Amino acid sequence: MSLPTRYAVLLDGGFVLKKLQQYTNRFPTADDVEKACERLHSHESLKNCDLLRVYFYHAPPANEELVNPLDKSKVNLAETQIYHDHEKLLSVLEMRPNFALRLGETVTYQWKLGKRAMDSIMENTRAVEPRDLVPNVMQKGVDLRIGLDIARLSLQGTVQAIVVATGDSDLIPAFKFARREGVRVYLDHMGHGIRRDLKAHADIVIDTPLPKELRNK
């Protein structure tokens, strides 16, 4: 397989934001996302290649008003900090050069027990309290959009390499398809422990650490 001349970067937004937040101990900014991408651009086998575009896959933040079933208190998700953080991030990324947003859907399934509450209840055998409940929000269609873009880029011959930042083994069929079409697949796990079979279906696994300056901001 010849070396690539043009490549695209596909970022699984939920995965990338989680890893950046763990690394920086704060909600990531658009600058953080760009910094994480820069280390990909400087990878030995990509640094002399042309970047087509960075695709960021995510879903808009939930904005429903929910009623806690235990104490009947209301929570407007559109007024929460996490809503404003995500709105700002997406609006800034959308305007960055060579970035494109691919947004799925956000579905809210009312409430669920938070992880800390679940651990506390299991340990102390106590009753469920209103503060134990958190909104049950899920993204839909994000993985599908990543897989479709991998197939599209591969079939059209737009790029010779695809860099995917993810930890989701559901993308293995898309990886296999791209490789059958002669596209080199790079996997960026951002230091996350991932399944062996996901690594096995990538041509190159990127182990470049996140830049230290992200922690100093």
Q: How far is CA 50 from CA 13, 42, 46, 94, in A?
A: 22, 11, 8, 20
Partners of residue 56 on adjacent β-strands:
11, 101
- Torsion sign, CA atoms 45, 48, 49, 53: positive
Domains, in order of start, for the chain = 6-61+94-106+138-214 (3.40.50.1010)
Q: How far apart are CA 120 and CA 104, in angstroms?
A: 33
Would you list the DSSP string of 122-143? HHH-----GGGEEEEEEEESHH
Regarding pTM above 0.75, the answer is yes
Q: Give the E-state strand segments of the chain in sequence order.
A: 6-12, 50-58, 65-67, 74-76, 99-103, 105-113, 133-140, 161-165, 184-188, 204-206
Q: How far apart are CA 201 and CA 186, in angstroms?
A: 9
Q: What is the DSSP letter of 20?
A: H
pLDDT, tens digit only, all 217 positions of the chain: 566 799 999 999 999 999 999 999 999 999 999 999 999 998 998 989 999 999 999 999 999 999 999 999 999 999 999 999 999 999 999 999 999 999 999 998 888 888 888 888 888 888 888 888 988 899 999 999 999 999 999 999 999 999 999 999 999 999 999 999 999 999 999 988 888 999 999 999 998 888 887 776 5
Q: How far apart are CA 20 and CA 37, in angstroms?
A: 12
